[in-house]
Structure 1
Amino acid sequence: MFGDLMGMMGKLQEAQKKVEETKKRLETVSIEEQSYDGLLRVSVSANNKIRSVTIDDELLKDKEQLEDYLVMVLNNAIGKATKISEAELAAAAKDGMPDIPGLF
């Protein structure tokens, strides 16, 4: 019984290590998103950190349009990053988990 428990604890620690490694790797994954006309481009990491924002000079003339573009493009990029991150972290966690009936 204790052997099984120790084995499960080891697997849980392994799963936690895999999740931490995946989080570090996700910092290097870039998601690029742009407005439909290419006037605004953003880059975010899969950990939802904004890396860069590129704004065409044309957008600087219209504050309201720029604000709308920023909201739209950043939300799209963050949404994609979140999906990637959630899928990768779930896979890492599930891969290292011990076989416990009904857990997954």
Structure 2
Amino acid sequence: MFDKIMAAQQKAEEIKKRLDTVSVFGEVEGGAIRVTATANKAITAIELREDFLAGADREELEELLVTAVNRALQQADQVSANEMQAATKDMLGGLGGMFGQ
């Protein structure tokens, strides 16, 4: 049983490391603002198209940045949830033998 718990912890660490290497994106205004993050929800880049930036006012820019960041974080949540769901399914499949299944 203890081995199974240790294996589950190791698997969780592997997933976390893998999620650090997965990039997700949030875009608004047809790519005028693009936010890049890891699947672990770390923002790694914010890109603003020069032509958009020249014509945008501060309030509009702030609102669109929030939207782009939230879209990137939503994608990160989805990727993370998919990874955890797959890992949980694998782990539960392995635990089935412990309960005679």
Q: Same fold by TM (over 0.5)?
A: yes
Q: How many residues align?
A: 94
| Residues 13 and 94 (structure 1), Cα distance of their counterparts in 2 relative to 1, 3 Å cut | farther
Deviations 1:37-95 (A, max 9, x none): 22101100000000000112333541011101111111011011011112212322442
Alignment of 1:19 with 2:48, yes or no, is no
Matches of 1:62 and 1:37, distance apart in 2: 17
2:66 pairs with 1:82: no
**Pair 1:65 & 2:60 matched:** yes
* C-alpha RMSD of the superposition: 1.8
- Name the structure 1 match of 2:26: 33
Aligned partner of 2:86 in structure 1 is 91
TM-score normalised to the size of structure 2?
Answer: 0.81
| Contact 1:15/1:94 (8 A) holds in 2 | no
Q: Normalized against structure 1, the TM-score is what?
A: 0.79
What secondary structure sits across from 2:31 in the alignment? coil
Structure 2 runs not aligned, ≥5 long: none
**What amino acid is aligned across from residue 53 of structure 2 in structure 1?**
L
For 1:90 and 1:10, the matched residues in 2 are separated by: 21
CA distance in 2 between counterparts of 1:95 and 1:78 reads: 26
Q: Which deviates further from its counterpart, 65-74 or 29-38? A: 29-38
**Structure 1 runs of 4+ with >4 Å offset:** none
Higher-helix-fraction structure? 2
Give the conservation status (yes or no) of the 8 Å contact 2:26–2:70: no
Does the CA contact (< 8 Å) of 1:16 and 1:93 recur in 2?
Answer: no
SS of equivalent to 1:37: helix
